[in-house]
Amino acid sequence: MSDPYILVLYYSQQGATRQLAEQIAAGIEEVPGISARLRTVPSVSTVCEAVASEIPPEGAVYASLDDLRDCEGLAIGSPTRFGNMAAALKYYLDSTSSLWMNGALINKPATAFTSTSSIHGGQEATLMTMLIPLLHHGMVYAGVPYSAKALFDTTSGGTPYGASHFAGPKNDRTVDEHERALARFQGRRLAKLAKALKPLREE
Ligand SMILES: Cc1cc2nc3c(=O)[nH]c(=O)nc-3n(C[C@H](O)[C@H](O)[C@H](O)COP(=O)(O)O)c2cc1C
């Protein structure tokens, strides 16, 4: 049995969503007694014969089903794709029926994060698309409450639905001060919720 961890599961083609994932992980690691496990998913291809290497070119290693089954909570992140999560992440989620049948994720906390190239390019809609399968799994969704002061101050990313990043049309804006503060807040909150909800799962 591994030590308790929150799974930070993300897909990132150009690195923007990965920056947010790392900030959420840093927030989780600030809470004693629980750690962050960063995992990604392989890209999907229109070429039927394409097979992904087992080692990703950059970032975290690929998530297994066991990574998800055994986590204490989940932070899931994707760049927006026309206001929706990326197919690669959806493909991974579509492989989780066995966990759903066994109720493996019921009463575990979850949250979502995203990155877009335009400021009103669908951040909140994308976060909602990731929320839906988590509700089917019986997870307890946690956004970012307005006690996170940066929600009032940000002029870029950061929403009450979850952390977000405005990467700019060339995807070259790095995560700024407010986006970082909100991602860390979200990570800390998720870790605290995972600890608080644990007794409920053991009933
Ligand atoms: C097929 C496709 C659709 C996209 N749709 C949107 C969109 O609707 N709104 C938006 O602002 N950005 C859109 N983008 C841009 C990415 O979401 C954005 O560059 C994001 O920051 C990339 O994150 P990453 O660096 O983690 O890959 C799209 C990109 C692709 C490839």
Dist. CA 96–CA 53, nearest whole Å:
21
The protein residue whose alpha carbon is closest to atom 29 in ligand 1 is 81
**Model pLDDT for residues 133-168, shown as the tens digit of each residue:** 999 999 999 999 999 999 999 999 999 999 999 999
Pocket test for ligand 1, best of 38, 43, 81, 175 (most atoms within 8 A of CB): 81
Q: Dihedral angle at the C-alpha atoms of 180, 31, 135, 89, nearest 10 degrees? A: 50
Dist. CA 199–CA 57, nearest whole Å:
39
pLDDT confidence of residue 1: 67
Pairing verdict, β 140-141 and 35-40: unpaired
Distance 200 CA to ligand 1 centre (A): 38
CA separation, residue 46 to residues 11, 40, 49, 50 (Å): 17, 20, 9, 8
pLDDT confidence of residue 110: 98
**Model pLDDT for residues 170-189, shown as the tens digit of each residue:** 999 999 999 999 999 999 99
CB-CB contact of 188 with 163 (8 Å)? no
Pocket test for ligand 1, best of 82, 89, 119 (most atoms within 8 A of CB): 82
pLDDT confidence of residue 201: 85
Dist. CA 36–CA 10, nearest whole Å:
13
pLDDT confidence of residue 19: 97
Q: pLDDT truncated to tens, each residue of the chain (203 aa)? A: 679 999 999 999 999 999 999 999 999 999 999 999 999 999 998 888 877 788 888 888 999 999 999 999 999 999 999 999 999 999 999 999 999 999 999 999 999 999 999 999 999 999 999 999 999 999 999 999 999 999 999 999 999 999 999 999 999 999 999 999 999 999 999 999 999 999 998 77
State if residue 114 touches ligand 1 by the CB under 6 angstroms criterion. no
What is the domain-level CATH number for residue 118? 3.40.50.360
State if residue 27 touches ligand 1 by the CB under 6 angstroms criterion. no
**Count of structural domains within the chain:** 1
Residue-range definition of the domain harbouring residue 145: 5-201
Say what the pTM is: 0.94
State if residue 84 touches ligand 1 by the CB under 6 angstroms criterion. no
